[in-house]
Amino acid sequence: VTDARPARLAALRARLLAREVDALLVSALPNVRYLTGFSGSHALLVVSARDVVLLTDVRYATQAEAEAGAVARVEIEPVSLWTRLWRVLPALAGVTRVGFESAHLAHRDAQRVLDQGARWTWWPLVDEVEALRERKDAGEVAAIRAAGALAGRALARALAEVRVGLSETAVAGILERALRDEGSEGFPFPTIVASGPQSALPHARPSRRVLARGDLLLLDFGAVVDGYVSDVTRTVVLGAASPEQAELHAVVREAQARARTGVRAGMSGRDADALARRYIDDRGWGEAFGHSLGHGIGLEVHEGPRLSRAAEAALPPGAVVTIEPGVYRPGWGGVRIEDDVWLGPDGPDPLTDFPRDLLEVG
């Protein structure tokens, strides 16, 4: 496997040149990880034309060198990364104009930059590293594919244990236990388990509500492999599905299939969204599909590109995106089906493949 980091750093440097800055101060941890491999929870990174300097604290002395030492000079700072920054920056040749990540720098830290960094010119930049992260390389796709397969195995194990009488929080525990048993490094977001009328809330939190026969049960969860996430939703029913439940599920399943197989790199996020939305609209459920079709995934569960009515940008080749239409009837319940696809050269390549039929469980 080739090391992707030198190419990522080169691509970032080309962007910085175009923005006419001499260096970028990277403070968003997923961006630090993408560029250097460092996976710790506390770091600042400076990338200039010649240098890559990673500042972190003593907890990560061994880990930082092991993960990032091949591409970055690692400096371990016992007190304050910012104090250290003011010692590191003057030593970097040719650096007078410095970009910072305006979407990620806390106001308090921006104040430090203005107070203590007055000898440099600071330039706010947005999405410079995030834009690179939208196009996944082979190693990233492989990690997400593994996270997708892992999520499917965990769901199969968990559904075998789901029963009427369990609470939503207990089901979340069963699913999270299965994810861990299958090898997930963590949970990319708080697991959503929503039963009965709760399933009409697109982002419900698991409650103490007890599953009853005839409930819809919506599970939205993911796995993490090598830092990369999957994001999957299935909606099942406890016992036998009613005709209404089956009908609504079939509408969402068909809308999802159209978008999942029809989405292409180069298409706008809006046109991708319309692949599912038009079908749902035509069946009279347009008002009940309030959220967007999907989002990019990678080191984070929500990243670019966006697939929504407002997304005019073209989906970049190599992006990994979710396809997750849903229909929600307040007080009754909702159905969402979510899969992850890689927008490869031959069209959409599914990275999650758990069955999409309306499963009757318990």
Q: Does 220 bind Zn ion (CB under 5 A)?
A: yes
**Which of these ranges, 52-60, 107-115, 224-232, 309-317, lies near Zn ion under the rule CB under 5 A?**
224-232
Select from 322, 334, 337, 352 the one that contacts Zn ion (CB under 5 A): 322
Two structure tokens written together for 43: 């770091």
- Interstrand relation of 333-336 and 52-56 (parallel, antiparallel or unpaired): unpaired
Decide: 110 and 82 in contact? Cβ < 8 Å. Answer: no
Closest CB 149 distance from Zn ion, rounded Å: 16
Contact 326, 353 (CB under 8 A): no
Q: Does 292 bind Zn ion (CB under 5 A)?
A: no
Taking the least distance from each CB to Zn ion, the nearer of 12 and 219 is 219
Query: Which residue, 256 or 322, has its beta carbon nearer to Zn ion?
Result: 322
For tokens 């789901």, what's the residue? 162
DSSP annotation string for 85-154? HHHHGGGSTT--EEEEETTT--HHHHHHHHHH-TTSEEEEE-SHHHHHHTS--HHHHHHHHHHHHHHHHH
Least distance CB 148 / Zn ion (angstroms): 12
HSE-CB of 24 using CA atoms within 13 angstroms:
28
Instruction: Locate all alpha helices (DSSP H) within the chain, ordered by sequence.
Output: 5-18, 29-36, 61-68, 81-88, 107-116, 128-133, 138-159, 168-181, 243-262, 269-282
**Considering beta carbons, is residue 48 or 352 the nearer one to Zn ion?**
352
The reply to whether 134 sits near Zn ion by the rule CB under 5 A is no
Number of residues that bind Zn ion (CB under 5 A): 5
Nearest CB to Zn ion, comparing residues 53 and 219: 219
Stretch that binds Zn ion, among 29-37, 211-219, 227-235, 280-288 (CB under 5 A): 227-235
The interface region with Zn ion, picked from 115-123, 225-233, 241-249, 349-357 by CB under 5 A, is 225-233
Q: Per CB under 5 A, which region of 112-120, 243-251, 269-277, 330-338 contacts Zn ion?
A: 330-338
Nearer residue to Zn ion within complex by CB, 176 or 231: 231
* 340 contacts Zn ion (rule: CB under 5 A): no
Site map 26..55 versus Zn ion, x via CB under 5 A: ------------------------------
Contact predicate 324/308, CB 8 Å: no
Q: Which range in 33-41, 91-99, 248-256, 333-341 contacts Zn ion by CB under 5 A?
A: 333-341
Pick the closest to residue 101 from 147, 45, 56, 48 (CA basis): 45
State which of positions 158-177 bind Zn ion (CB under 5 A).
Answer: none
> Which residue lies nearer to Zn ion by CB, 71 or 200?
200
Does 231 participate in binding Zn ion (rule CB under 5 A)? yes
CB of 301 to Zn ion, least distance (A): 7
Coil/strand/helix, residue 55: strand
Q: Which range of residues in 129-137, 142-150, 213-221, 272-280 is near Zn ion by CB under 5 A? A: 213-221
CB of 24 to Zn ion, least distance (A): 29
Q: Is 243 exposed, middle or buried (0-12, 13-18, 19+ CB in 10 A)?
A: exposed
The pairing of beta strand 294-296 with beta strand 224-225: unpaired
DSSP annotation of 205 = P
In this complex, which beta carbon is closest to Zn ion, that of residue 48 or of residue 322? Answer: 322
Helix (H, G, I), strand (E, B) or coil at 166: coil
Site of interaction with Zn ion (CB under 5 A): 220, 231, 233, 322, 338
